[in-house]
Amino acid sequence: MESSEFVAEVEGVWKVYITRGASIPALRGVSLRIRRGEFLCIMGPSGSGKTTLLNLIGGLDSTSKGRILIDGIDLTGLSTSELSRLRHSLMGYIFQSFNLISVLNAVENVELPLIFDPIEGEELRTRAKALLERVGLGHRLTHRPSELSGGEQQRVAVSRALISNPHIVLADEPTANLDGKTGREILELMKKLNREDKVSFIIATHDRRVTEFADRVVNLIDGEVVGEEIVKEGSPALNK
Amino acid sequence: MFRSLGVMASIAARYLRRERRAVLAISTIATGIALLLVSSLLSTIIIDQSRFLAIAYSFDAAQLVRAATALSLVAVLVGAAETGVVMSRVVLSRIKSVGVMRATGIGNSRVFSLFLLEAAFYGIIGGAIGIMVGAGIATASVIVSLGSGALTAVLSPLPLVAAEGLGLSVLVSVLAAIFPTAKAVYMRIISAIYYE
Ligand SMILES: Nc1ncnc2c1ncn2[C@@H]1O[C@H](COP(=O)(O)OP(=O)(O)O)[C@@H](O)[C@H]1O
Ligand SMILES: [Mg+2]
């Protein structure tokens, strides 16, 4: 499985939401392959289906048609607990509104995904601290979310997403709740971790600045992929 | 297994410390258990003391005790309902967290146990307070009415009654938490994460 070139393959995926009799096609035949270590940006206006696509790749929701492979594993046939285990070992999530647990401090929030794993408490603590130091929060280890700024909370969330050494980190509008400068810092941080750990990042956003950091930008409109831009490493954004 | 339990206990304890609603649940459980304790500790004395009354007016003293016990059981049940309401509010306020935990692959059964454990803590604390208060009231009323000589007879069943009271309060709290917790844990993950 490790030999597969792609961490995620999206093949002809449809997602139709059915609410009160009305059916809303949020994704209409999306196909996409994400390489190992790629920093991919899914760009599109609000309502274009970015969150839906991310949720499907992340194994949080199921497709209406088509299939998704993660490390060569087809998510379609998996049971709830198999899916849960796959998310646990292969995925990390970053949300727009950080979604940290308010009663836990920074280190405990980072430890959360692994607290039930067969790993020594000491070792887990060391790993969580090391991650927080890498994201520049070594001095905020025991602060609770309410005592941290938005940027700091998102750094904690980034560390939490990486604690299990995932193959893919999915970030939905990670900069939308941050001011310009802080958003940029978070993107720089994610890019750094992407380079150092060779972990794939998929970032859904309508924020054009993200494209500056991406290896590739996929444009989504009305549930369809309408184009791709390959961004050369180190080059500024293609479109301004 | 034990590590899981330890982890759950420490998280539940953290929640407990910061959960204002807990006070309500704990105090209702405590009231019920205290009443239950008073009525069962005083039952022998009540029967004994009302013997003359019973002969004079020809009624069964045990009936009085049964009525008192029924009343305190009602109090415990009200405590249970209150715990149910409190737990559903608690769970509701944490649906997002439940979603995040489940997204990161913490199994449903563990998330479930986490909330039930917290409810059990409410039961233990509420039960312990209730036992102390109930034993205190029973002791005080015996000393005042009959003098301290009658105390040994009244307090001899205390260990058993206390154990029953604690068991009951934990059981009741956990049962009351099952339904609201199930709602959050079996909700679609994305609905939980984006719950407002
Ligand atoms: N749970 C849902 N039920 C019904 N419709 C939904 C649901 N989630 C999203 N949609 C609809 O699907 C479309 C795509 O939504 P979304 O994936 O959130 O787009 P984006 O993240 O790009 O803003 C929108 O029209 C939205 O209203
Ligand atoms: Mg969205």
In a mutational test of the A interface, the residue from B93, B106, B186 whose CB has the highest number of chain A CBs within 10 Å is B106
Ligand 1, atom 7: nearest CA belongs to which residue? A17
Q: Which residue has the higher pLDDT, A152 or B153?
A: A152
Among A16, A17, A202, A220, say which to mutate for ligand 1: greatest number of ligand atoms within 8 Å of CB: A17
Number of independent structural domains in chain B: 1
For residue A212, give its domain range: 37-63+76-232
Is the Cβ pair B103, A93 closer than 8 Å? yes
Contact B104 A164 (CB under 8 A): yes
pLDDT for the residue numbered B2: 64
Q: Is residue A165 part of a domain?
A: yes
CA nearest to A59 within chain B: B103
- Domain membership of residue A12 (yes or no) is no
User: Is the pLDDT reported for residue A138 higher than 60?
Assistant: yes
Q: Which residues of B touch A118 (CB under 8 A)?
A: 3
Read off the amino acid at residue A161: A
Query: Which CATH number characterizes residue A156's domain?
Result: 3.40.50.300
Decide if pLDDT at A203 tops 50.
yes
| Ligand 1 atom closest to Cα of residue A206 | 22
Q: What is the spatial distance between Cα B41 and Cα B35, in angstroms, rounded to a whole number?
A: 10
Report if residue A187 sits inside a domain: yes
Q: Is A20 inside any structural domain? A: no
| Interchain contact, B108 vs A80, CB within 8 Å | yes
Contact A88 B102 (CB under 8 A): no
* Residue A68, domain member (yes or no): no
Distance, in Å, from the CA atom of A89 to the CA atom of A19, rounded to the nearest integer, reads 33
How many other β-carbons are positioned within 10 Å of the β-carbon of residue A238?
A: 13
**Whether pLDDT at B4 is above 80:** no
Q: Is this complex's ipTM strictly greater than 0.85?
A: yes
Min Cα–Cα distance to chain B from A54, Å = 11
Q: How many Å lie between the centroid of ligand 2 and the Cα of residue A33? A: 20
Give residue B67's domain range.
Answer: 2-193
Question: How many structural domains does chain A have?
Answer: 1
- Measured in Å, residue A66 CA sits from the centre of ligand 1 at 18
Query: pTM for this one?
Result: 0.86
DSSP state of A173: S
d(Cα B127, Cα B41) in Å, to the nearest integer? 16
Number of H helices, E strands in chain A: 6, 10
The pLDDT tens digits of the residues spanning B64-118 come to 778 877 877 787 777 777 777 877 787 788 888 899 999 999 989 888 888 888 8
Q: Please name the member of B11, B107, B190 whose beta carbon is closest to the beta carbon of A84.
A: B107
Query: How sure is the predictor about A235, in pLDDT bands with cuts at 50, 70 and 90?
Result: very low
Q: Which residues contact B138 (CB under 8 A, 6 or more apart)?
A: B37, B38, B41, B42, B154, B155
CB contact under 8 A, B193 and A116: no
Predicted local confidence at residue B150, as pLDDT: 79
Phi and psi at residue A205, in whole multiples of 5°? Answer: -165, 160
- Contact list, B100 vs chain A (CB under 8 Å): 93, 95, 99, 101, 112
Q: Is residue A113 part of a domain?
A: yes
